[in-house]
Amino acid sequence: MRTRRVLIYLSILALLAAYLYYFEGIREKARLSEEERARFFFQVELSKISALRLSPTGGKPLALVRDGQWRLAEPIQSPADEFILRGLLAALTGLKTERQVEAAARDLGPYGLDRPTFHLVFEAEGRWHNLRIGAKTPVGDHFYASGDEENRVVLIAASQESALNKSLADLRGKELFTLRTEAVDRIDIRRSEGALVLTRSEGKGWQAARDPALKIKSAKVESLLNQLVSLRVSRFVDEAEAAKARLGLNSPRLRLSLSAKELRETLIVGAPGPNRGIYAKSDHLPGIFLVDEDALKKVPAGVRDLEDRTLLSFETEQVARLEVKLAANTVELERQDDTWKRVDGQGGTPSEGWRVSALLRKVQDLEYIEGAPPTAQEPDDGAPMRLVLASRGGARIAAISVNGIPAGKEGRAVLWIARGSEASRACLVDADALRSLEQGMKQVLTTD
C-alpha cells in the first residue's frame, strides 16, 4: 500500500515538473521573442511602405514614391533602381538597436543627432516614421541613432548605416530596357550604314522585315535580347562633363529600339567616352550616361549575323550509335536506355551519359560561315578527326571529318559533312567551334 502511494506521489511530481518545464519554457521563449521584437526600430512590414524621403550624407534630398513601381520624384523624375531599393527597404524594416544609450536625452549634440548626417522619413499605412543617424561612436563600429522618439538615443551597427545611406546615383534606375524578353515582338537596330528590323509573329518566329524568306536562328535573337535587357548604365554624366564632351548624340552611331505591342523603348548611342564607355541616352531614363563599350560590340552588324547556319539539325534521342575518332583513338558506342556502352569486341568502361550528351550538343551548335574553297582536300577514312552519328536502325544521320584544326588564333577551319546518304560537302567553320568539338570528343574517349 505504501509503495503504491509513493508511486502515485512520484507520478504527480513528474507531471508537475513536466508542466512547469513546458509552460516555463514557452514563457521564456515568448519573453525572448518579445525582447528580440522590441529591438526592431520599426514594427512595419516592407510591403506597407509607400513613400520615402532621404537626406543622404553630402547629397541632395531624395523623394521616392511607389505607384505600382518605385520611382524617384525628387530631385529628378526617374525610375528607381529596384535592386538597390529592395536592399534599403530590407535594411530599414530589419533595423535593430544594438543597445540604448539614453532613454530621454536632453542634449542631442554630443551624439550628432541635433544635425543628423543622415535623415530618413517613410510612410507606411498612412503614418510617417523618422530615422536619424548621427555621429560614429569613438570606440566600436556603431552609429548613434534615434527614431520616432527623437530623444531616445540608441546604437546601430555601421553595416546597417551603409545599407541605408544611399545617394541619388545609387537609387536612380540604371536599366536601359525594362520590357520582358518574352513580350518583345520587334527589334530595330539602326546605323548610318543601314537598318536591321526583326519582327516576331505567332507561328513564324523571328523574321527579317526586309528579307522574310531568310531563315533566322531564334537562339541568336534570344541571346541578343538577353544581352540588351541586361544593359545597364555604367555612370551618369554630370552637366559639366556633358557640356565639355563631344557626345555625338545628335547624329548617333547606333539607335536600338525594342517594342512590345504599343510599348517602345529606345537607346541612342553616341561618341566614345572615358574608361571604355560610350555616351548614350534613353527615352525612359533622364540625363546622359555612359554604357560599356564591350557590351555593345555584341550587337549584330547585319541580318547575316542572325541567319540560321546550323550544319546539322537532329534530336539527340535520334542518335543511337556513335563513332568517335581522334588520331589513333577510336571508340564505337551504342545507346542502351540511358547509358552508352562500347560495341561488342571493344574493351573499356561504358561512357558516362553526360559526356555523350555534351558532345551531341556541340554538334548541334556547329554553324557554317561559308562554303570552303575548291582547293579544300576531302579527308579519307584515316582523317585525324572523324565523328559518325547513326540512328537505332543503323542508318547514318551524318558523318563529320576534319583534316586538322589550325593552331594559334586562326579564325576559320575546313569541315567536311555528309548528311544521311548524301556525299560529303566542305564548308568553313569557326576554328574555336572545332576546338570545342574536339574537346567534347576527348571527353567521350576518356574512360577514367
Pick the CATH number of 46-171 from 3.40.50, 3.10.450, 1.25.40, 3.30.1490: 3.30.1490
Choose between 231 and 36: higher pLDDT: 231
Give the tens place of pLDDT for each residue, 43-59. Answer: 889 999 999 999 887 77
Q: What integer best gives the mean pLDDT of the chain? A: 87
Residue 49 CA to residue 93 CA, distance in Å, equals 9
Summarize the confidence of residues 192-203 as an average pLDDT.
87
Choose between 254 and 60: higher pLDDT: 254
- Dihedral over Cα of 84, 264, 215, 295: its sign: negative
Which part of the chain has CATH 3.30.1490?
46-171
Contact 442, 326 (CB under 8 A): yes
Tell me which residue of 381, 375, 373 sits closest to 427, measured CA to CA: 373
E strands, 33-160, in order? 49-55, 62-67, 69-74, 78-79, 99-102, 118-124, 127-136, 142-146, 153-157
Q: Which one-letter DSSP state was computed for residue 436?
A: H
Residues in the chain: 448
pLDDT at 135 over 50: yes
| Single-letter code of the amino acid located at 100 | Q
pLDDT at 384 over 50: yes
- Predicted confidence band at 107 (pLDDT cuts at 50, 70, 90)? very high
212 alpha carbon, distance to own chain's centre: 32
Contact 319, 389 (CB under 8 A): yes
- Predicted confidence band at 32 (pLDDT cuts at 50, 70, 90)? very low
Could you give the residue ranges of the DSSP H alpha helices within 72-136? 82-93
- Predicted confidence band at 21 (pLDDT cuts at 50, 70, 90)? low
Helix-strand-coil split of the chain, %, nearest 5: 30, 35, 35
Q: In this predicted structure, what is the pLDDT of residue 433?
A: 92
What percentage of the chain has pLDDT greater than the value 90? Answer: 55
Contact 439, 431 (CB under 8 A): no
pLDDT at 31 over 60: no
Summarize the confidence of residues 319-336 as an average pLDDT.
90
Give the tens place of pLDDT for each residue, 208-227. Answer: 988 888 899 988 999 999 99
Terminal Cα distance for the chain, rounded: 77
**What region does 406 belong to: left with phi over 0, alpha with psi -120 to 50, or beta?**
beta
* Global confidence as pTM: 0.74
Alpha-carbon dihedral angle through residues 317, 322, 324, 329, given to the nearest 10 degrees: 130
